[in-house]
Chains A and B, each alone.
Chain A
Amino acid sequence: MSDRILGGFGLLLTAFFIWRTSVIELSFISDPFGPKAFPYIISVVFGLASLVVFLRPDTEPEWPPLSRMFEIGMTVAVMVAYALVLPELGFVISTALTGAYLSWRLGTPPLKALAAGVAISLGIFVVFHLILGLSLARGPFGF
């Protein structure tokens, strides 16, 4: 079933891709081939491959239980939130929090996870910023 969904999704994506290719505006400079032809070729390959996957699916993979899927979803949300708050809170605080969350969800007891997050954050800050001079996100406190 999963492969059928993958194949079906691939076919939809192909249709979308072909549509987006067809609306590429041509500029006045052009070569005999143009910017549309290669995307069309890709669509054919991708579409055919999706069709085969749809028609001849492999055995079903082992999906994690729903609770685990939710957990992965939450982690994705936390990572996106990290990307968003990074410029606001600065590197050290946001990284400590995110690192702690990840460590906690991977099975560390909460307090230890917090310590791990802080250690990871400070470790990266010292090695990459103070020693190697990489510029990290600056927050309101300058770190």
Chain B
Amino acid sequence: MDSLSALAHGFSVALTFQNLGLAFIGCFLGTIIGALPGLGPSNGVAILIPLAFTLGLPATPALILLTSVYYGAMYGGRISSILLNIPGDEPALMTTLDGYPMAKQGMAGEALALSGVASFVGSFFATWGLVFLAPQLVKVALLFGPAEYFALFTVAFATLGGIASRNQSKAALAAGLGLGIAMIGVDGQTGVPRFTFGEVHLYDGIDFLVAIVGLFALSEVFIFLEHRGTEKATGDSSGVKVGRSTVPWPMLKSTLPTMGRSTMIGFIAGVLPGAGASLGSFISYSLEKKLVDKDGTFGKGDPRGVAAPEAGNNAAAGGALVPMLALGVPGSGTTAVLLAMLLALNITPGPLLFQSNPDVVWGLIAALFIANFMLLFMNIPMVGIFVRVLLIPPRYLMPAVAMISFVGIYGISGSTFDLIVMVLFGVLGWGLRKLDVPLVPVILGVLLGNQMEANLRRAMTISDGDWTALFASPLSIGLWLFAFVGFVLPMIAGRFFRVKVKPAMAEEMDPD
């Protein structure tokens, strides 16, 4: 039981006043970020990274803060789903289906409490899954050479394009765009400038934090500006009253099997590359509906319809951390953003992280357990506070979000040039969202482009320019096959996922 002793060590790292305080702040901010429509896990974390970075927090505390935000946002998303019928973030979309009807029947308090418990169950067990699965994956990953890593990166792009988007060619276009942006700057291996047009500011390349904050956070401001004064901009909370926020025991008991199944499905969906929390909650809900909806009560306020997606999306959030930490390849948008933070702190996730920096990994995992209990406490007895936060209208909120984004980026470099680049990324993000081009592959490209190229070139250097080296080991052949299947299969079987995942308001949502 290496994992358990490592975890015990992790608790000794996490249990300092500073780290507990940061976890608390992270959970609190995260719940607010998740609850507010227009701010979701990925853009919420994106705004906070530059801040955590400029405040000079060391790696472990910074990670604890931001992953608490990530977990918190997954909890918080349900609040506005249930009360306003507007998902606070994309993974919480399925929660509106039964959560809002429950609220209308005067059971808002029960729905909030039940979904809080389901969130807790999902993320608590997923964190245990992380404890046991990540070290196993690390053992496999230690066998990876440059050729396998190159194939693995390809898997990440192919599957993200495959499952998470509605149009493969647009996902590929997005990935190419991101990779192309990553190429800007001085080539790390030979020192020649590429695509810099003689502009000195571009010699360091485009900072991925600038790209992320622009694409995720500023584009949201433009979306709100576009929809100002339309019904999409405001929610309707009239007539919904939060009563006592407790779950009656019979209701809880009847939903326990649902939570168990959804947790498992969500966790698997999270671990698989490219799926993420939205798909986790979607599959959990659909499956549960097929399995137990005998009287046709799903969609009319069935408590199990609230428990399933919430357990599913929180479990997926934990599951998505597995490939991010063990392989350095994120499985979803928000974990891509978390990866950006690790890279900004000069930590390269992957198998070596577990060996060279066990304090960071296990401290983080321990902090996730602590954050879970904090979140359970915040989201059941204290849920009223967050309900009040929901009443802040976007016309005050979005300017604050924009200005905080500027502050964070300015704090990193103090450069006007970076701010202008960020605004341009904001416009780009808005345009791409209108055109239904997914943003996550762009981010992934910007983040991973240089590593992907470095691994390819390393493999070529080892093999002295022989291309077949890329397909030389069984492991790499397996990965290539997986990438191929991941990209092609959704074209054939993808209808099943896509039809319902595409809501009318898809463009409003940030990807999880």
List A residues at the B interface (Cβ < 8 Å): 2-3, 6, 10, 17, 20-21, 24-27, 29-35, 38-39, 42-43, 45-46, 48-50, 52-53, 56, 58, 61, 63-64, 68, 71-72, 75-76, 79-80, 82-84, 86-87, 91, 95, 98-100, 102-103, 105-108, 116-117, 120-121, 123-124, 128, 132-137
Contact of A35 among B187, B395, B399 (CB under 8 A): B187
Known contacts A32-B465, A80-B423: does B399 contact A103 (CB below 8 Å)? yes
Residue of B nearest to A137 (CB): B410
Please give me the 10 A-B residue pairs with the lowest Cβ-Cβ distance, nearest first: A46-B176, A83-B419, A52-B169, A102-B399, A32-B465, A49-B172, A49-B173, A106-B395, A35-B187, A33-B460
Could you say which residues of chain B place their CB within 8 Å of the CB of A100? 399
Could you say which residues of chain A place their CB within 8 Å of the CB of B167? 53, 58
Could you say which residues of chain A place their CB within 8 Å of the CB of B465? 32-33
- Complex: how many Å from CA A2 to CA B190? 40
- Complex: how many Å from CA A128 to CA B48? 12
Known contacts A49-B173, A117-B399: does B226 contact A24 (CB below 8 Å)? no
Q: List 12 A-B contacts (CB under 8 A).
A: A35-B189, A46-B173, A64-B226, A72-B427, A75-B225, A79-B406, A99-B399, A103-B396, A106-B394, A128-B51, A134-B51, A136-B411
Contact A32 B395 (CB under 8 A): no
Known contacts A31-B189, A42-B180, A99-B403: does B423 contact A76 (CB below 8 Å)? yes
- Within the complex, the shortest CB–CB distance from B45 to chain A, in Å, comes to 17
Contact A106 B461 (CB under 8 A): no
Q: Mark B403-414 against chain A: 1 for CB-CB distance below 8 A, else 0.
A: 110110011001
Could you say which residues of chain A place their CB within 8 Å of the CB of B242? none
Q: Is B385 an interface residue (CB 8 A)?
A: no
Could you say which residues of chain B place their CB within 8 Å of the CB of A32? 460-461, 464-465
Give 17 new A-B contacts, CB below 8 A, not counting A29-B191, A31-B461, A76-B427: A20-B194, A24-B193, A26-B190, A27-B190, A33-B465, A35-B192, A35-B194, A42-B180, A43-B176, A46-B173, A58-B436, A72-B225, A84-B420, A95-B403, A117-B399, A124-B404, A134-B411
Could you say which residues of chain B place their CB within 8 Å of the CB of A58? 166-167, 170, 436
Contact of B407 among A10, A48, A107, A124 (CB under 8 A): A124
- Complex: how many Å from CA A50 to CA B226? 27
Within 8 A of A (CB), among B436-468: 436-437, 452-453, 456-457, 460-461, 464-465
Contact of A53 among B169, B179, B218, B398 (CB under 8 A): B169
- Complex: how many Å from CA A51 to CA B108? 50
Within 8 A of A (CB), among B163-196: 166-167, 169-170, 172-173, 175-177, 179-180, 183, 187, 189-195
Contact A79 B176 (CB under 8 A): no
- Complex: how many Å from CA A81 to CA B193? 29
Contact B190 A31 (CB under 8 A): yes
- Complex: how many Å from CA A80 to CA B464? 48
- Complex: how many Å from CA A34 to CA B457? 8
Could you say which residues of chain A place their CB within 8 Å of the CB of B461? 31-33
Could you say which residues of chain A place their CB within 8 Å of the CB of B191? 27, 29
Could you say which residues of chain B place their CB within 8 Å of the CB of A17? 180, 195
Residue of A nearest to B463 (CB): A32
Known contacts A42-B176, A84-B416: does B190 contact A29 (CB below 8 Å)? yes
Could you say which residues of chain A place their CB within 8 Å of the CB of B228? 105-107
Contact A38 B404 (CB under 8 A): no
Contact A61 B169 (CB under 8 A): no
Could you say which residues of chain B place their CB within 8 Å of the CB of A86? 406, 410, 416, 419
Contact B172 A48 (CB under 8 A): yes
Q: Is B434 an interface residue (CB 8 A)?
A: yes
- Complex: how many Å from CA A105 to CA B400? 13
- Within the complex, the shortest CB–CB distance from B302 to chain A, in Å, comes to 33
Contact of B183 among A10, A42, A102 (CB under 8 A): A42
Could you say which residues of chain A place their CB within 8 Å of the CB of B456? 33, 38
Contact of A10 among B173, B403, B452, B507 (CB under 8 A): B173
- Within the complex, the shortest CB–CB distance from A45 to chain B, in Å, comes to 5
